[in-house]
Amino acid sequence: MKILASIIIISITTFVSSKLLRKYENNHYQVIEKLDEIEIRKYKDLLYTSYTPKNKQDRNNSFRNVADFIFGNNNKNEEISMTTPVVIKSYNNNEMAFIMPEEYTLENIPKPNNNNLNTYIEKGSIKACISYSGYTNKNIENKKTKKLTEILKKYNIEHNNDFELLVYNSPWDVINRKNEIVVSIKYEAESDNYKNIYLGSGCFWCTEAIFENVIGVYNVYSGYTGGEIDNPNYELISTGETNHAEVCKISYDPNIINLENLLEIFFFSHDPTTLNRQGYDIGKQYRSIILFNNSIEEKIISNYINNINAEYFNNKIVTEVKEINKFFLAENYHQDYYKNNRNEQYCRVIIDKKLEDIKKSLSKYYR
């Protein structure tokens, strides 16, 4: 974290002078669980107005640019109550984001006169947080980030490397009441309401994109399973020699969508009759595969395949069905790949077409 609370203090001191800054905290999140020194939080959708510095020298201007908008430099000449914390997104060129009060939406919030400001909604997500009080600086932030990372690793929770610094009270108080380091995580709260199934239908980028917007699906994780070695990586499994398959762990609510529904989406969103390939993706890692948790699921899957094999696939289904042993989470850049890389050629040429087709034929399952 390269922007320190002291920079924020200097910025507001030079800019605000006699202005009185109103502040309050919205209830932005719900604590799901506490693990050692960290909290697992479920955040609401948040409306931000932010400034992204053009370069290192421009960082000192971040606060004054957004504060100018809040104090009335907007198309309505309206003063906006500023909430705390101030969010500094180090992963995005130290973007400084201010959370807008809950009464505002994208439609009714005043428009900044400053074209360098950005107003947008950040969708709700699950984040891990470590808190600390008092003055903050780069060394302290690095230590807290390291500690947060260690605890997440201890509990086998993957993070997205999008670390943020949240500063409460500062720059109003010389000594901050509270600071936080937060990061987005792949997290599934323990609950009897959710079940997991493991599906491989070729490249996991496609499988993830197919299932992540299905009604009743809580989360989708890309990873590897079915092979002979532990802790494989993408480079290794891509040789096809480890016998791993690219699969997605799909967490779903059986009260909303059942296993048979997921199997319908699975079988009609790829070709289960081609051995060790999907289109141009060729190799054992791209095989059609289902991994079940217990004998009940195994029977459901077997019955479903028997019913559709003759009717729809001319008895040519080659999908491998086996019990799950170990699932290894894929590297961070594979998670939410389609969401984050919509303009990549593979997404535009392959995934876009698959999504369009499956959402047409099975629209009842999609948001």
Report phi then psi at 315, rounded to 5. Answer: 60, 40
Cα separation, 186 vs 110, whole angstroms: 35
Report phi then psi at 88, rounded to 5. Answer: -115, 115
* Positions of E strands within the chain: 23-24, 29-35, 38-43, 46-51, 82-83, 86-89, 95-99, 117-122, 126-132, 158-159, 164-168, 178-186, 195-201, 217-225, 245-252, 277-278, 281-282, 288-292, 320-323, 327-329
pLDDT at 30: 84
Closest CA to 6 of 118, 165, 117, 182: 165
pLDDT tens digit sequence for 184-229: 998 765 455 788 999 999 999 999 999 999 999 988 989 999 988 8
Catalytic residue chosen out of the listed positions 129, 203, 206, 248: 203
Dump the DSSP string for 164-182. EEEEESTTSSSS-SEEEEE
- Model confidence at 126, pLDDT cuts 50, 70, 90, reads very high
pLDDT at 99: 92
For domain 195-365, the CATH class is alpha beta
pLDDT at 175: 54
Give the other-Cβ count within 10 Å of 345's Cβ: 8
pLDDT beyond 60 at 10: no
- What residues form DSSP beta bridges with 289? 200, 320
- Model confidence at 6, pLDDT cuts 50, 70, 90, reads very low
Averaged pLDDT for residues 75-90: 89
Where in the sequence of the chain do the CATH 3.20.80.10 domains occur?
A: 5-186
pLDDT at 36: 77
Where in the sequence of the chain do the CATH 3.30.1060.10 domains occur?
A: 195-365
- Supply the mean pLDDT for the chain: 87
* Positions of E strands within 126-163: 126-132, 158-159
pLDDT at 263: 98
pLDDT at 31: 83
Compute, in degrees rounded to 10, the torsion defined by CA atoms 186, 191, 192, 197.
Answer: 0
With 0-12 / 13-18 / 19 or more C-beta atoms within 10 angstroms meaning exposed / middle / buried, residue 325 is exposed
Cα separation, 57 vs 79, whole angstroms: 28
Q: How far lies 157's CA from each of 42, 63, 112, 249, in Å?
A: 15, 34, 39, 14
What is the value of pTM for the model shown?
Answer: 0.52
pLDDT at 171: 47
With 0-12 / 13-18 / 19 or more C-beta atoms within 10 angstroms meaning exposed / middle / buried, residue 294 is exposed
Radius of gyration in angstroms for the set of CA atoms belonging to the chain, rounded to a whole number: 24
Query: Helices (H), strands (E): how many in the chain?
Result: 10, 20
pLDDT beyond 50 at 364: yes
Contact between 90 and 2 under an 8 Å Cβ cutoff? The reply is yes
pLDDT at 347: 94
Closest CA to 321 of 263, 363, 361: 263
Respond yes or no: is residue 203 known to be catalytic.
yes
pLDDT beyond 60 at 16: no
Of 175-179, 233-237, 257-261, 288-292, the one with minimum mean pLDDT is 175-179
- Model confidence at 7, pLDDT cuts 50, 70, 90, reads very low
- Model confidence at 149, pLDDT cuts 50, 70, 90, reads very high
Averaged pLDDT for residues 9-18: 40
Domain 5-186 has CATH 3.40.228.10: no
Q: What pairing do the DSSP bridges indicate for beta strands 288-292 and 320-323?
A: parallel
pLDDT beyond 70 at 176: no
SS3 of 95-121: the string is: EEEEECCCCCCCCCCCCECCCCEEEEE
Dump the DSSP string for 259-283. HHHHHHHHHTSS-TTSTTEETTEES
Of 123-127, 154-158, 261-265, the one with minimum mean pLDDT is 154-158
